[in-house]
Structure 1
């Protein structure tokens, strides 16, 4: 008989405990099966995410990872991606231009965008010589047409072949601020205008077109010979060119500073010579030349000490008027010149 206060199932479990244990195990097994059924697909999914494409049976070319939004990328990451795509960003000066360049590069992956700084394609045999050396770049930039025949169209064509970095260097030489210039053409036009202004200033002042009034121009041997009216053949023989004319008013006289970079008194002379050039203005062509770079010329000029300041007349073939060895102050230099002219 069962007790009226408990059910038959309860009474049965009390008399036979193993039956109760069986029921508990049945419930636990059912719950475990449900959990396993719901978690196994998830585990398999994450396993597939961490498996290489080759193991799964397809190539990496079939896997396309989403590209980050350029507007959310850092400038450094944008530049790195452009570099990986062989796209130049040298002419991009702000975030907007960099972002636009990257969007264009992604839209046309087979045709990389070229910066305005890039040079035209060359043959494989000429690749090694295509990059101009610093000396070649300097020579190109310094080949300014003479004051008497300044050709604006020709100058613009030459400037447009230069790289942006070279244009910035030349603009700095002409004391033109380029910080606000975004487009390369703006730099080209500004540099051309500065060169035209210089050409006008040097008209009837400098024979080579390289010497500006009111400034100290560091020249090389070729420019100095042109300013002096000397022949290179005479210099090769170790003599000065002496045959000339009797026209003392052909050009302003020349004040030449022969210096060396290691010379202390030469460095002391620099600001004083500049001040004297500003005061003398269009009356004197003030130049300086490095005696270590042009030892042949220093030998012909018979330079014995540094610095040596030599004054030449303004004839078509200039002759030495006077010289002084050692550093002078600004007033001393001006007095030295005015004592003769």
Structure 2
């Protein structure tokens, strides 16, 4: 089971959109997925068509001890479960300030929940995806302590890189003091515009930054810049207002194709992805029919695909 926190303290970079659509793509491919909304704005909950104000149990009740995972989770689709959020979660930062071990509440509860539901043949979930708030407070620390991996969504412009150092500093502190297994395993490039020179320059800067850490004892020494980029697509912006994933709202859109390929790349081992002659084709082809595959038949893209972001063979991904 993989536990992945999706985080960026800068809002509007595609964090929640990425969490939802990766989760739905994996679930549609037969993997059991638990989504946890740690953001008081409840955008993940809303994106899945759930009402944050309906009085249902969720992450607030979970963290404050008034509900268990079994009671707080709800079914959100086939192979998909959600622990939703609400505005009440905003008060948890204050309520938990005097609680000993407040940073590991989510981790301990998740460990208990997963252990109680385990069978001999398959874990209760294949993936746990945690949508962290755009801040570095107690809620985000809970997400980082409960996860084994971190994905960072980035928009390819220079302002999106501002604050990345502070985020990585926080991840490093959590790694050293609380969660030694925590690694930044992937960077997702969102809202990518292949027609701009700036996008290519920023991507190169990101590759250089993470490449310089490969020989250092840092949680991001093996970070992968995913080959699949999420192209700018209006359908991705429209889908949340209908309470649907991109696969339900616009299954033939570029957004659906990109997130299906990204899910395939996440599920497939990096060695498999980089053993193909054509790096751009590797992500969607890496999974077998029983694993992650795009939920709709392959079609010609609506616009020219972005240039390959794959480094030369043998280079660090």
Normalised TM-score (structure 1) = 0.21
Q: Which has more helix, going by share of residues?
A: 1
Q: Which has more strand, going by share of residues?
A: 2
Could you say which structure has the greater relative contact order, defined with CA pairs below 8 angstroms and 6 or more residues apart?
Answer: 2
Normalised TM-score (structure 2) = 0.22
Highest CA radius of gyration, 1 or 2?
Answer: 1
